Amino acid sequence: MQKATFAGGCFWCMVSPFEEQPGIHGILSGYMGGTVENPTYEQVKTGTTGHLEVVQITFDPAIFPYEKLLELYWPQIDPTDDEGQYIDRGSQYRTAILYHNEEQHQLALKSKEELANSGRFDKPIVTEIKPPGIFYPAEEYHQNYHSKNPKEYKEERINSGRDAFHEEHWKK
């Protein structure tokens, strides 16, 4: 088993694309990269802790290779926005690929370069690729939020602009 960690704005919206895939053994929403130990959501959402909202995925690379995780990751985000994602603004909602080994690092760099050269976006790809920090799981009510609160989750996705952006930029 390996870990993969992605920041893509609100972590509620980053779980469902990965959860039904073969070889995925777990997904946790959490916080990474900041200066506060054991941060709470209330602290992170202020944007002052330095943490990103992330999802940490436990996967079997023999069944679902890291490259496939990257292929799923990019269409979930606006990789040209360095001030947040969609309606969620602030440093805690920036995008990042947090690699756990050198192979992941190289594959992430390659996928970012391929996206930058694809012509899909007019603006530069600003998603950071960096080593992970300490992962702090988010509070229980954030875990699998989309399953526990399907109506609220659906409204959040629609109102955030995430689905509209995906339709415009990734369905081409």
Domains defined for the chain, CATH in brackets: 2-169 (3.30.1060.10)
Nearest alpha carbon to residue 74 among 110, 127, 23:
127
Residue 110's Cα: distance from chain center in Å? 18
Q: How many CA atoms lie within 13 A of 15 on its CB side?
A: 20
Tell me the per-residue pLDDT of 75-127, one tens digit each, with 9 for 90 and over. Answer: 999 999 999 999 999 999 999 999 999 999 999 999 999 999 999 999 999 99
Question: What's the confidence (pLDDT) of residue 147?
Answer: 84
Cβ neighbors of 103 (< 8 A, separation 6 or more) are 66
| Pairing between β-strand 95-98 and β-strand 88-89 as defined by DSSP bridges | unpaired
Q: Which of 2, 4, 7, 10 is catalytic?
A: 10
pLDDT, greater one: 94 or 10: 94
| Pairing between β-strand 135-137 and β-strand 2-8 as defined by DSSP bridges | unpaired
Q: Is 13 a catalytic residue?
A: no
User: Whole-prediction pTM value?
Assistant: 0.94
Q: Is 143 helix (H, G, I), strand (E, B) or coil?
A: coil
Question: What's the confidence (pLDDT) of residue 172?
Answer: 66
The answer on pLDDT for 137 being more than 90 is yes
List the structure tokens of 56.
């940490």
